[in-house]
Amino acid sequence: MKFKRILLKLSGESLMGRQGYGIDPERLGQYAGQIKEICAMGVQVGIVIGGGNIFRGLSGAAKGFDRYKGDQMGMLATVINSMALSSALESVGVRSRVLTAIRMEPVGEFYSKPRAIEAMERGEVVIMSGGTGNPYFTTDTGASLRGIEIEADVMLKGTRVDGIYTADPEKDPTAVRFDEITYDEIYNRGLKVMDLTATTMCKECNLPIVVFDMDTPGNLLKVVSGDRIGTLVHN
């Protein structure tokens, strides 16, 4: 295995599958199956999942929601997704634990670094929900923070595209994919990989990122095994 401990960042939108809203049980099952594969190899797994399939604070603010309350609603959406993923993992025989950035026992335990690491070392998948617990931060920033805190070897950003391109490949057919790219190049080219806060945290703490297509079954195992798929971001 190339990586012993990973932080897997999943987007909330990807959980919609073909539904256009909410949680697609089929997609959830696929993700649980892929995570089970890498757990069987002994990889320690921490997960942060977004909430955009249920509610996104920024778009809510654009529609008249107070940004502070909108972001709190988005944090709660990530908790719902985390519980759904935890349930899917348990159903395929993978032990998991939901930790929340805001106190809400008995929904999940309050997050702390020692609690997360202890659970991973026991072989549990740890799903860290509620973002950073603060408004005005995205779940990408939450994922960067948690990845750094749990001392992950890498952040694996599972998306529906197979890496980082010079432009949006869904809109521009001439877009070219990078095999690897530096953080500075992302800044200079103005690429929308993650928000600037998240990217800066990973750069400063030297946490590499691999952006890859999570919607193709087997890809997570390939990335963890060191196969060159997706795009590697590094200093």
What is the residue-level pLDDT of the chain in tens, covering all 235 positions?
A: 789 999 999 999 999 988 888 999 999 999 999 999 999 999 999 999 999 999 877 776 677 878 899 999 999 999 999 999 999 999 999 999 999 999 999 999 999 999 999 999 999 999 999 999 999 999 999 999 999 999 999 999 999 889 999 998 888 989 999 999 999 999 999 998 999 999 999 999 999 999 999 999 999 999 999 999 999 999 9
pLDDT at 61: 67
How far are the Cα atoms of 118, 175, 230 from residue 224, in angstroms, in the given order? 21, 26, 12
Residue 220, SS3 per DSSP: helix
Task: Supply the pLDDT for residue 18.
Answer: 87
Cβ atoms of 48 and 9 within 8 Å: the answer is yes
CATH of 5-234, one of 3.30.70.2740, 3.30.530.20, 3.30.2080.10, 3.40.1160.10: 3.40.1160.10
Q: What is the pLDDT of residue 20?
A: 84
DSSP classification of residue 161: S
pLDDT, position 178: 97
